[in-house]
Structure 1
Amino acid sequence: MRQPSLFQRALLTLCLALAMASGAHAFELTQLSQQLSEPVVIRGNFVQEKHLRALPLPLVSRGQFVLAREHGLLWSLQQPLQQDYRISGSGIAQRTLSGWEPTDQQPAAARQNQLFLAVLGGDTEALQRDFQLDLRGTAEDWMLTLTPRSKLLQQIFSAIHIQGGATAQRIELLETQGDSTLLLLESTEVDDQLSAVEQHDFTH
């Protein structure tokens, strides 16, 4: 067998060194998880587009959200109607005239809520239990693709694509039946504490 020349050996060594260097500096899941879980509070606006096969145009809703690391998510829908929701590890509650009331949830819907919190909070360890994760990009510009492992989630989603930088900015859920949901998180701001009103909404 012909031995490689000195030039070929040098080129091979350089390629291996570059590959090792790029691998050492690659943006990894543990880094993404830490980056997304660092903010105590994230506030912003959202635009949600629900694309249904039976409709020519998407159903669009708009509102504001507050994500608190220690509490969960306040989801304030403002258009086309006004409704306030509180999503936490214990489930979903809706604001009524008498206060927050738990909503009845099917197992699949409850699982989606847990998934949503895990995505926004950067809990990649929880996500890996049910999804194969593929992360590409850098800390400033990344994309995470989730492919379902469990049969339950395979019946709901074909894939989930999440894009962002310091925080998640774009979430696309592709359903197995052909429908899809696109969620855009805009004008996000990071804070180190909740307002008095937000604190009350989370704890009462």
Structure 2
Amino acid sequence: MFTPKLLLTVSLFASASAWALTPAELTTHLQQPNTIQGQFVQQRYLKSLPKPLQTTGQFALQKQIGLFWHVQKPLDVQLRVRPNGIAQWDKKTWRNSSQSGQAAQVKLFMAVLGGNTQELSKQFDLDVSGSLKQWTLTLRPKTTIMKQVFQNITIQGDQVVRQVELREKQGDRTVMKFTQTQINQPLSAAATNAFK
């Protein structure tokens, strides 16, 4: 027998389920901008060090083209990440990196920043919570390789990705925060050069 209180509880649960954010909706939401650019702060917490290692700089993400990652402190390093690999600017030209196993890392990084949940679901179980205005995506490794590296990855954002936290199996973690974000604005000269 339904009581008014039980009916209210059931209807609230049903409406919450109907409005629950899905990975597909999040992908569609995050892939709307053609370009995203801004500042980043990356902190790497190592068990062996008392303070995190910090790098800061600028980034630009262009839909279906790639990512420009310009570390400005503590060193000046410009990287271009594309589906086919990573290249570093040597002040004259882009030099492709030849690290082995790089393809999987590139795919993962591009999928995380681009919000490609379909690509991420190949290697992780996905848990999405919140709304399009404020969401959290938690990735739990499901493949043997990812289970050896990560405990989990947590991504938070709104219209764009605002923070990524990677927790590694051995206890280290990396936190990346993205600020001063601009959407669909003209890219910097350095980013434009990287995407040529």
Pick the TM interval, shorter chain: over 0.9
1:168 partner letter: V
- Residue 101 of structure 1 pairs with residue 95 of structure 2: yes
Structure 1, unaligned stretches of length 5 or more?
none
Give the structure-2-normalised TM-score.
Answer: 0.94
Ranges of 4+ aligned residues in structure 1 off by more than 4 Å: 192-197
Q: Which residue of 1 aligns with 2:14?
A: 20
- Residue 187 of structure 1 pairs with residue 180 of structure 2: yes
How large is the RMSD of aligned CA atoms in angstroms? 1.6
SS at match of 1:125: helix
Q: 1:50–1:196: structure 2 CA closer, same or farther, 3 Å change rule?
A: closer
User: Displacement, 1:23?
Assistant: 1.4
Per-residue CA distance 1:2-58 (angstroms, 9 max, x = gap): xx3xxx444333322222212111222111111110000001000000111111111
Per-residue CA distance 1:44-84 (angstroms, 9 max, x = gap): 00000011111111100000000000211000010001010
Q: Which residue of 1 aligns with 2:136?
A: 143
> Who wins on radius of gyration, i.e. which is larger?
1
Aligned residues: 196
SS at match of 1:30: helix
Give the structure-1-normalised TM-score.
Answer: 0.90
Q: Which residue of 2 aligns with 1:163?
A: 156
Query: Matches of 1:61 and 1:101 in 2, distance apart?
Result: 22
Query: Matches of 2:72 and 2:193 in 1, distance apart?
Result: 20
2:53 partner letter: L
Query: Matches of 1:81 and 1:199 in 2, distance apart?
Result: 21
Aligned-residue identity in percent: 37
Selected match of 1:48 from 42, 49, 54: 42
Structure 2, unaligned stretches of length 5 or more?
none
Query: Matches of 2:192 and 2:12 in 1, distance apart?
Result: 49
